Structure 1
């Protein structure tokens, strides 16, 4: 079988199609034939070495985290899915490997795919929706009447965050680029600001929750936008920010890995239309290297970039 892998940390030039063999199936693992895999910035950041403290230096390493496909086999202790089920899920980032013809993952890393969604749209859910869930529902505890500001409200994570907050009955405003204003407005975000309009962010008052889905707001800036009991949620885990998150009740970090337990809930919300994944480009797996490199170099689309198998 073939997968996208790399033989050392570095840029897009380190990627290549390599042959691989799947490990023996564990008691609580499932083997999935991949039908679609979604590209996340996290994938190339891992290849660049951003998390090498956790991913180590044993090569070659596989790429890709989010996928959707069909269960081919299950371990003896697996109860949540059966052979033949259509599922979506995510691979432990320390292993990765979703940009491949098949994957073996722990059973709690998958959930049944909503029948209403294509494999491509289902593959677009995990990391983005898990991060948004943790930020909006777990960390910020947004509820009806909350005033929420989302920095990057049209990106994959930001759009899901806006959808979740609006579904809770919150009033959501945020930032996005000029080309995304229409879609953000149609989703219910108002008012919408440009990234350079920072002096205007709080013109209508301060917020109960500020979610920086881009990681570009300073901690002090985010905290200054809050009401007295408001919460600033960030996805930029530098050592200094991580320490501050441990010490402050008003500054919290959100990680996708915290949301794996919510995959079934995410599936339910996608099935009823609360979460609405959007595909910007769906390309064949054979073009994976160029598509990933294009995304990494800034040539992106309004929606997720997906590899189809």
Structure 2
């Protein structure tokens, strides 16, 4: 089968489409014929070698985390799924390997694909959806009427976070680029700000929570926007942010949180039943893997970008 891998760290040029043996499902596993795979910033952070401390440095490595497809086979003890069923899910976040024609996963790593979503839409959900659910479960405790600022709200996490926050009764201010204005309104944001025309600091408002999804609103700049007990969340922290948040939280009522994704089977079930509006901003065939990663890493995609695997 075909699979995208890399044998050295670097840019998209180090990626290769290789032929490898088709995996075999173990007794408690499923073999899934992949139909679509999502692109995530974590893909290129791992490929660039930025996360060796947690992901290890052994090469070669694979890419792709979340996917959707059809069950091609099940292990002897699997009872929850049958061949032919449509599923979506994610592989080990730090190992990757979903960008392939087939993938082997456990029952806990997949859920049934919602009938109302295409394979591309379903593949787009697991990482960003799990991230948004984890933020509101562990990092930001929203209450009805809470003021939430989402910076970079037109991307994948912002797409889900905006919808979930509105369902919890929060008032959402979404900061996006020109291309994301319509989508942010479609997802329910109460205030939509074009960062190219207006700074969020010009609003003269304080927020109970600030969720920075773009990496362009560091904690030092976000603090004046927070209420005295407000919470700031960094969605793609490095070592500096992780250490800095720890020390800051020892001495301040304003809290600095970092998102370190820990997927759970329950998140997939919740996403499958959430009836979310999932926007696909770009679609690429598997053969265009280098071009896809080069383009998507530049930003500007509204919603999510996905590969189709035929």
State TM-score, norm by structure 2.
0.89
Say yes or no: does 1:279 pair with 2:275. Answer: no
The residue that corresponds to 2:303 in the other structure is 303
Structure 2 residue 271 is matched with structure 1 residue 266:
yes
In structure 2, relative to structure 1, the CA distance for the partners of 1:80 and 1:252 (3 Å cut) is farther
CA-atom RMSD in angstroms: 2.2
2:24–2:31 contact (8 Å) kept in structure 1: no
In 1, the alpha carbon distance for the partners of 2:159 and 2:111 equals 21
Q: What are the within-5 Å matches in structure 2 for residues 239-250 of structure 1?
A: 239-246=239-246, 248=249, 250=255
Identify if the C-alpha distance between structure 1 residues 54 and 299 changes in structure 2 by more than 3 Å, giving closer, same or farther.
closer
SS at match of 1:242: helix
The corresponding residue for 1:257 is 262
The aligned counterpart of 1:227 is 227
After TM superposition, give the deviation of residue 140 of structure 1 in Å: 0.7
2:86 aligns with 86
Please tell me whether the aligned partners of residues 3 and 99 of structure 1 are also in contact (alpha carbons under 8 angstroms).
yes
Is residue 69–residue 87 contact of structure 2 (8 Å, CA) maintained in 1?
yes
Matches within 5 A, 1:43-58: 43-58=43-58
State the partner residue of 2:74: 74
Q: Write out per-residue CA displacement over residues 16-72 of structure 1, whole angstroms, 9 at most, x where no aligned residue.
A: 110112454334322111011111122122111121223333332111111000112
Name the residue aligned to 2:238.
238
Take 2:3 and 2:221, find their aligned partners in 1: how far apart are those partners? Answer: 42
The structure-2 alpha-carbon separation of the partners of 1:300 and 1:198, relative to structure 1 and needing over 3 Å to count, comes to: closer
Q: CA separation in 2, counterparts of 1:58 and 1:199?
A: 43
Instruction: Tell me how far 1:259 sits from its aligned partner.
Output: 5.0
The change in CA–CA distance for 1:245 and 1:301 in structure 2 (over 3 A counts) is closer
Q: How many residues align?
A: 303
Q: Is the 8 A contact 1:130 1:260 kept in 2?
A: no
Listed as ranges, the matches of 1:146-225 within 5 Å are: 146-195=146-195, 197-198=198-199, 200=201, 202-203=203-204, 205-225=205-225
**Equivalent in the alignment of 2:42:** 42
Alignment match, 2:121: 121
Offset at residue 225 of structure 1 (A):
1.9
Distance 1:246 1:29 in 2: 38
Contact 2:35–2:67, Cα closer than 8 Å, also in 1: yes
Q: SS where residue 59 of structure 2 aligns?
A: coil
1:152 Cα shift? 0.8
d(CA) in 1 for partners of 2:261, 2:107: 17
Measure how far apart 1:299 and its partner are: 6.9
Equivalent residue, structure 2, for 1:135: 135
Alpha-carbon separation, structure 2, partners of 1:155 and 1:92: 22
In 1, Cα distance between the equivalents of 2:299 and 2:228?
40
State the shift of 1:219 in Å. Answer: 1.7
**Gaps (5+ residues) in structure 1?**
none
* Residues 226-280 of structure 1 deviation map (CA, whole Å, 9 limit, x = unaligned): 22332212113222321344452722122332455411101110xxx3x211112
Q: Find the counterpart in structure 1 of residue 103 from structure 2.
A: 103
Residue 160 of structure 2 aligns to a residue whose secondary structure is helix
Deviates more, 1:94-103 or 1:211-220: 211-220
Stretches of structure 2 that go unaligned for 5 or more consecutive residues are none
